[in-house]
Chain A
Amino acid sequence: MNGSKSTTMIVAAVTAAMILLPLLHSGGSVSAVVNFLAPFVTTVAVLAVIAIGLNVQWGYTGIFNFGVVAFFMVGAFVAAIVTKQPADSEFVQYVGGFGDRLAFLPVLDSQEWLPFVFGVLAAALAAALLALLLALAALRLREDYLAITTIGVAEVLRRVTIEEAWLVNGTRGLTGIPRPFAGWFDAGVYKFVFLLLALAVLAVVYLLVERGISSPWGRVLRALREDEDVVAASGKNVFAFKVEGFVLGAALMGVGGAFYAFQQGTVSPETFTHFFGTFIIWAMLVLGGSGNNAGAIVGTYVIWGFWSITLQLQGFDLPVFVVDRISFFRDFLIGALIVVVLLARPQGLVPERARVSRWLERRVRELQQQGAKREATPVESAPRTAE
Chain B
Amino acid sequence: MSTGTVSSTVNVAPAGLRRLGDAAGSVALFVAIGAFVAWSALTHPSQLVVGLVVGSVLALGALGLTLIYGVLKFAHFAHGDAMMLAAYLAFFVLSGNLVGTRGTDVRLPWSFADLPGATTPIWRFSFGYGLVLAVLVAGAVAALLLLLVDRWVYRPLRQRRAGVAIFAIVSLGVAIAMRSLILMIWGPTPRFYVAGIRPTVQILGGPRVVTDQLFIIAMAVVLAAAVYVLLYRTTAGRAMRAMADNPDLARVSGINTEAVVRTTWIVSGGLIAVAGSLLALQSQLKPELGFLLLLPVFAAAILGGIGSPHGALLGGLVVGVVQEVAVSVGILSPGYKFAIAFVILILVILVRPRGLFGA
Interface residues of A (CB under 8 A from B): 58, 62, 64, 66, 137-138, 140-145, 147-149, 151-153, 155-156, 159, 162-163, 228-229, 232-233, 238-239, 242, 274-275, 279, 282-283, 286, 320-321, 324-325, 328-329, 331-332, 334-339, 342-343, 346
Q: Which residues of A contact B164 (CB under 8 A)?
A: 142-144
> CA–CA, A142 to B184, complex, Å?
36
Instruction: Scan B153-184; emit 1 where CB is below 8 A from any A CB, else 0.
Output: 10011000011111011101111111111011
- Determine if B125 is an interface residue (Cβ-Cβ < 8 Å): no
Identify 16 residue pairs between A and B in the complex whose beta-carbon atoms are under 8 Å apart, listed by A's number: A64-B165, A140-B4, A140-B5, A145-B353, A152-B342, A159-B335, A232-B5, A233-B6, A239-B5, A274-B291, A320-B101, A332-B176, A332-B177, A332-B181, A338-B173, A342-B157
A144: nearest chain-B partner, CB-CB: B75
* A279, B172: Cβ atoms closer than 8 Å: yes
Complex Cα distance A138/B4, Å? 13
B195: Cβ under 8 A from any A Cβ: no
The 3 closest A-B pairs by CB, nearest first: A335-B176, A338-B173, A332-B180
Nearest CB on B from A342, distance (A): 5
Known contacts A58-B165, A279-B176, A331-B180; 14 additional CB pairs below 8 A are: A64-B168, A148-B75, A149-B345, A156-B342, A229-B4, A238-B4, A286-B169, A321-B100, A325-B183, A329-B184, A336-B177, A338-B172, A339-B177, A343-B157
* CB-CB nearest in chain A for B173: A338
B146 to chain A, nearest CB (A): 14
On whether the beta carbons of B156 and A152 are closer than 8 Å, the reply is no
User: Given A143-B168, A159-B336, A346-B166 in contact, is the A152-B5 Cβ separation under 8 Å?
Assistant: no
Query: Do the beta carbons of B184 and A339 come within 8 Å of each other?
Result: no
- Which of A149, A151, A228 is the one whose CB lies under 8 Å from B349? A149
How many residues on B have C-beta within 8 angstroms of the other chain's C-beta atoms? Answer: 54
Min distance, Cβ B335 to any Cβ of chain A, angstroms:
5
- Tell me the bound Cα distance from A321 to B157 in angstroms: 36
In the complex, the number of residue pairs spanning A and B with C-beta atoms less than 8 Å apart equals 145
Candidate in A144, A145, A228, A336 with the most chain B CB atoms within 10 angstroms: A144
Knowing A141-B353, A148-B345, the reply to whether A239 touches B4 (Cβ < 8 A) is yes
With A339-B170, A342-B170 as contacts: A143 and B4 at CB distance below 8 Å: no
Q: Is the CB of A137 within 8 A of B346?
A: yes
Which of A147, A159, A229 contacts B75 (CB under 8 A)? A147
CB within 8 Å for A155 and B295 given contacts A144-B75, A163-B336, A232-B4: yes
Which residues from chain A contact B100 at a C-beta distance below 8 Å? 321
Closest chain-B Cβ to A303's Cβ sits at a distance in Å of: 13
Bound CA–CA A328/B176 (angstroms): 10
B338 adjacent to chain A (CB < 8 Å): yes
| B38 within 8 Å of A (CB atoms) | no
Known: A275-B176, A328-B184. A155 touches B169 (CB 8 A): no
Contacts of B187 in A (CB 8 A): 324
Q: In this assembly, does B77 line the interface, its C-beta being within 8 Å of a C-beta of chain A? A: yes
A-chain residues with CB within 8 Å of residue B342 when the two chains form the complex: 152-153, 155-156
Interchain nearest-CB distance for A145 vs B (Å): 6
Known: A145-B349, A148-B75. A282 touches B4 (CB 8 A): no
Check if B23 is an interface residue, CB within 8 A of chain A: no
Bound-state CA distance A332–B180 (Å) is 5
Known: A155-B342, A156-B342, A339-B153. A141 touches B349 (CB 8 A): yes
Distance in angstroms between the alpha carbons of A229 and B180 in the assembled complex: 40
A173 to chain B minimum Cβ distance, whole angstroms, is 16
Report whether A282 and B353 are in contact in the complex, using a CB–CB cutoff of 8 Å: no
In the assembled complex, how far is the CB of residue B91 from the closest CB belonging to chain A, in whole angstroms?
A: 17
Q: Is B9 an interface residue (CB 8 A)?
A: no
Instruction: Give Cα A153–Cα B295 distance, bound, in whole angstroms.
Output: 10
B225 interface residue per 8 A CB criterion = no
* Contact across chains for A328 and B166 when beta carbons are under 8 A apart: no
Q: Indicate if the CB atoms of A148 and B295 lie closer than 8 Å.
A: yes
Given contact pairs A163-B335, A232-B6, A147 touches B168 in the complex (Cβ within 8 A): yes
- Report the separation of the CA atoms of residues A64 and B163 in the bound assembly, to the nearest whole angstrom: 12
Check B153 against A343 for contact (C-beta < 8 Å). Answer: yes
